[in-house]
Each structure stands twice: as structure tokens, then as C-alpha cells.
Amino acid sequence: MPVILNVEKFEDIIEELKPLLEAHWKEIANYQNEIKLDPDYVKYQTMSDQDMLHMVTARQDGKIVGYHINFIIPHMHYKQHLFAFNDILYLCPSLRKSSVALRMFKYTEKNLKKLGVSVITVHMKVEFPFDRLCEYLGYSYTERLYTKYIGE
């Protein structure tokens, strides 16, 4: 079956998205023993209401099989420009070797550009890289990110 891409609103899909968010978290999240998945759905809704949340979904047979979610905000250093900061990106394992991820990125870029976004930032887990896809699409490797759990 074909995979259909679409921009969808948070409030329309959140209940359907929750099981995928859980599976995604279990697959890639760091510090799972210390930090449990607990999304702030109220803030997500607020950002959606303010047109600061951009959600692209990939659906197969009507069911969500992937998502590319970005926050859209003016950058603190470049207030004349909107930046899209990747929040989460997921594609069901059975589709990862297909063209769906490439299509999802291109579709997201096209829609963000229409909204006036100047720059898209994408982050990825070291254990789950997709550098080749980003490089193919013309993204530049620009920063490194380190984390350390310091909680109790």
C-alpha cells in the first residue's frame, strides 16, 4: 500500500500518536531508567494553537507509520528568521529502507518553506544515525551535542 504524507494538527492526531510515541521512546531514549516518557501535551497544544508546531505524518492504510515534528520559532539570535527545530522524527522499522523518509523530509521542507522558515535543524541519536539522508538532502553537519544525567 502507498504511504500518504500530510500536515496534520496536534489535536486531531494526538490520541492516535501516543502508542507510536511510546514505541519510539522505548527504541531510542537515553536514561530510560531515570526519566520516564511524560510529554507535556498542554504545551504541545498551546504551540499548535500558536502555529508554532508543524506535524507531518506518514500514513499507510490510514494508520500513522511515521512523523516529522518541528517547532517553528524566531531564532533568539536572528529574530528576522523563522527556524524549524526538529522535535521528533520517526518511521516504522519496516519502512526505513524505503523512500518514505526521503519523501517525508522533502514534504516537510516544502511545507516549512511555505510558512517562511529559513533554517531547519535536525538532530539524531548517535546510535540511530541517518547522516547519509541528511547529507543527500543538502544538510550541513554543524554542531555536536553532549548530554549527562545529573539527577538523583
**What is the arithmetic mean of pLDDT over 125-135?**
92
According to the model, what pLDDT value does residue 9 have?
A: 97
State in words which class domain 3-136 has.
alpha beta
Q: To the nearest whole number, what is the mean pLDDT of the chain?
A: 95
Is pTM, for the whole model, over 0.85?
Answer: yes
- Does the pLDDT at position 132 exceed 90? yes
Contacts of the segment 62-68: beta carbons below 8 A, 24+ positions apart: 64/13, 64/16, 64/17, 64/20, 65/3, 65/91, 65/92, 65/95, 65/100, 66/3, 66/90, 66/91, 66/92, 66/95, 66/100, 66/101, 66/104, 67/17, 67/20, 68/104, 68/105, 68/108
Residue 152 pLDDT more than 90? Answer: no
Which carries the bigger pLDDT value, residue 58 or residue 1?
A: 58
In this prediction, residues 135-139 reach a mean pLDDT of 96
Identify any residues that bridge with 58 across adjacent strands, giving them in sequence order.
Answer: 5, 66
**What tens digit of pLDDT does each residue of 5-35 get?**
999 999 999 999 999 999 999 999 999 999 9
What DSSP line would sit under 11-76, residue for residue?
HHHHHHHHHHHHHHHHHH-S-TTTS-----HHHHHHHHHTT-EEEEEEEETTEEEEEEEEEEEE-S
Residue 107 in this model has a pLDDT that exceeds 90: yes
> What are the residue ranges spanned by the domains of the chain?
3-136
